Amino acid sequence: MGTIIETNNLRAYYITKAYGVERTVKAVDDITLRIQEGEVYGIAGESGCGKSTLLRILLGAYQPPLTVVGGEVIYHLEGETMNAADMTEEQQRDMKWRTISYIPQGSMHVLNPVRRIRDTFHDFISAHRDVTKKESFQLTADYLRDLGLPEKVMASYPHQLSGGMRQRVTIALATILWPKLIFADEPTTALDVVVQRGVIQMLKDVQQKEGSTLVLITHDIGVHANLADRIGILYAGKLVEEADTKTILENPRHPYTRYLIESLPSLDSREERLAIPGRPPALDRPPSGCRFHERCPLAQEVCKTIEPALIEIEPKHFTACHVVEEELSRGGEHVYA
């Protein structure tokens, strides 16, 4: 299986100019990703770390002030290799929903409140395929049945459905044309646990049915643990660690990743858990050196000035941290263990 989407040293900044003051927010800074065909790739990080900006660039759905200032996004779809920057608007529009699809966060605001679900589906299908209403209703009914959604959803209005059902209808809508590449932005945030579980199951079903690639963005590590094959951790616009899910959860190396995982409350113990000190930096003036150094318990002099590179510390496990790097070169024990 090959790569389906890749980015090379991608930099995307929000550049605004007001009253002669120029402000640059470095939301995505030097990110290189290789997402494989058929995998579930999870992107995790706090709010304001650039997750959603990265998604917008990958989807090609952005406009000024968000600007790509460096690097490139390359799609390998339907046997063709396309650079996102060279694509015309028609090519992009044709590709969206048919081969690349997107599941938004707030399902409440996605479905048209004055149209029945089946009509929304018809609008959607008929924009890409030449179908009659009868055909699209049939297609929708078959697909919903496949996914285990009840028949009566078709004739309902969005407000009549529960929040979880609405979110699942949105997922069905985004995937009915069998896209090869699906992006999901916080698909379970603000849902309660039982509904969240139902939504995760459905995403898994959809992904496995056609072997689609799913890029999952959420700050909830628990969701990643149950769905993702590989996880990339973003911090302040940088990729700080990347490995398969098991490695990230059981042997995280970057101090930020360790904090993220250790701060999760669980039903195993009621002992006090520490929150990550401080808060994410503002991205218009990111800290020098390692962007995490102000909050990092292991920070050293070198971290304040030199930016750590993303290095492969063991096969397919990448991390960007001076302390980990130094440890490896000494071949010694973990500093924190």
Partner 1 sequence: MSTREAQSEGLPVSAQPPLLQIENLTKVFHIRQGFASQDFHAVDNASIVIDSDKPEIFAVVGESGSGKTTLAKMVLGMESSSEGILRYKNRVINDISRKEMRSWFYREVQPVFQDPFAAFSPLKRIDSYLYETAQNYKMVADKKEAPRYINEVLSAVGLTLAEIAGRYPNELSGGQAQRVAIARALITKPSLIVADEPVSMLDASLRMSIVNMFRKLKEDNNVSVIYITHDLATAYYTGDRIAVMLRGWIVEMGPTERVLGNPLHPYTQNLKSSIPSIKSEEAWDEKVDLAVIETDEYTRIGCKFAGRCPAVMDICHDNVPPSVMHEGRSVKCFLYDDAVDAEKKRMLMPAAL
Binding of residue 79 to partner 1 (CB under 8 A): no
Instruction: List the one residue from 190, 306, 309, 335 that touches partner 1 (CB under 8 A).
Output: 190
Q: How far is CA 295 from CA 108, 235, 252, 256, 292, in A?
A: 36, 12, 17, 9, 6
Distance, in Å, from the CA atom of 324 to the CA atom of 70, rounded to the nearest integer, reads 28
Tell me which of 109, 275, 329, 333 binds partner 1, using CB under 8 A: 275
Closest approach, Cβ 91 to partner 1, in A, equals: 37
Query: Shortest distance, CB of residue 220 to partner 1, whole angstroms?
Result: 6
Stretch that binds partner 1, among 28-36, 90-98, 157-165, 324-332 (CB under 8 A): 157-165
| Closer by beta carbon to partner 1, 11 or else 291 | 291
Instruction: Give the binding range for partner 1 (CB under 8 A) out of 24-32, 54-62, 90-98, 254-262.
Output: 254-262
DSSP single-letter state for residue 96: B
Q: Is residue 247 close enough to count as binding partner 1 by CB under 8 A?
A: no
Site for partner 1 in 126-155 (CB under 8 A): 150, 152-153
- Of 52 and 226, CB closest to partner 1: 226
The strand pair at 40-44 and 21-36 is best described as unpaired
Residue 1 binds partner 1, judged by CB under 8 A: no
109 binding partner 1? (CB under 8 A): no
The DSSP output letter for 20 is T
Residue 21 is a binding residue for partner 1 (CB under 8 A):
no
Neighbours of 242 (CB within 10 A): 26
Q: What is the rounded CA–CA span in Å between residue 171 and residue 70?
A: 33
Q: Does 274 bind partner 1 (CB under 8 A)?
A: yes
| Residue closer to partner 1 (CB basis): 188 or 319 | 188
DSSP 118: H
Q: Centre a 10 Å sphere on the Cβ of residue 93 and count the other Cβ atoms it contains.
A: 14
Strand partners, 40: 214
- Smaller CB distance to partner 1: residue 22 or 268? 268
Is residue 242 a contact partner of residue 43, using CB atoms and an 8 Å limit?
A: no
Taking every pair of Cα atoms in the chain, the longest distance, rounded to a whole number of angstroms, is: 69
User: Within its chain, how far is the Cα of 278 from the centroid?
Assistant: 24
Q: Is 265 or 332 the residue whose CB approaches partner 1 more closely? A: 265
Q: With respect to partner 1, which residue has the nearer C-beta, 21 or 193? A: 193
The amino acid at 77? L
Task: For residue 155, give both structure tokens.
Answer: 């004739």
Calculate the dihedral angle through the C-alpha atoms of 311, 317, 319, 325, rounding to the nearest 10 degrees: -60
Quote the CA–CA distance of 59 and 216 in Å, as a whole number.
13
Instruction: Give least dist CB 328 to partner 1, A.
Output: 25
Stretch that binds partner 1, among 135-143, 171-179, 208-216, 269-277 (CB under 8 A): 269-277
* Residues in touch with partner 1 (CB under 8 A): 46-47, 150, 152-153, 156, 160-165, 168, 190-198, 200-201, 219-223, 225-226, 245-246, 249-250, 259-261, 263-267, 270, 272-276, 279-280
